[in-house]
Amino acid sequence: MRQLLLLLPLQIIVSTLGGSLPSTKMSTFDAPIVDILWLGADRRKVLLNTQKGTLYESLDDGRDWEQKSVHSLKVARLIMSAANASTVVAVGFRLEVFASVDAGTTWKEVVHPPGIRLSFMFHPTRANWALLSVWTEDCRLSLPGSPCTHKLLATEDLGAKPLKPISAHVVQFSWGRGDYADTIFYTHIKDKSKRQSILSKWMEGVDFVASTDFGESKTTLVPGGNKFVISEKFILVAQAKDVSAQTVNLKVSTDGSWFRKVGKRLAYVQ
């Protein structure tokens, strides 16, 4: 059993209740901890990053710690694949992305378009598949006409080959679940000639779409679909109905392709 107590922000006390007496050891880090991951097939390798971007590694379930360098990266986030506990991604302060398939022993850069904000989402069951999105650098400028856009890209080899562009002007995106886990679902603004702004109310001109071939083609599933929720059993989409009154229809699908309006029968869906 591992037991981890985070006491003071800079300190971590780890007790291992292995034998008859618990043994305790204290470690000090340079700043509060941001992410902490137990990696590898046996989950004994622990990786953490602090608010200063320093990476620490423990090979013995958190007893002894060493500072670690991934190409001198200052690490903002650590993300582990749900499909394989040896696959991990480190995102740097300047949005550099490095991926490791050996629990953080070796790292390779995932080259992506520059941006001011970045999201990374592993596929739920395929460790080397991921979605990555960036808000382009133009979004920082308030100049009208700067082509600010939220770009979505995908990889099936953790960035070994160039990322595949899926769409620009993306509002929300996700892998599917279950039978349609390999489908990329997203909402996007159809008119890509204007700067993209953050969706703050229900809008016309936003569609809910799916791509089953890594962006080669897409199918519009719910025209006017602004926001969505994907669960193991169904997909719910909020479709703009009357944007002046700010009302929506809820659409539901249990097969990832056919959507019907949610009405009185909602009780049967769960």
Ligand X SMILES: *[C@@H]1O[C@H](CO)[C@@H](O)[C@H](O)[C@H]1NC(C)=O
**Interface with ligand X (CB under 6 A):** 84, 86, 101, 127
Beta carbon nearer to ligand X, 49 or 84 = 84
Q: Looking at beta carbons only, is 47 or 221 nearer to ligand X? A: 47
Residue closer to ligand X by CB (options 86, 211) is 86
Closest CA to 216 of 136, 146, 156, 266: 156
| Shortest Å distance, C-beta 84 to ligand X | 4
Q: What's the min distance (Å) between Cβ of 4 and ligand X?
A: 24
Shortest CB 48 distance to ligand X, Å: 21
Q: How far is the CB of 49 from ligand X (least distance, A)?
A: 22
Q: Select the residue whose beta carbon is closest to ligand X and give its number.
A: 84
Beta carbon nearer to ligand X, 86 or 149? 86
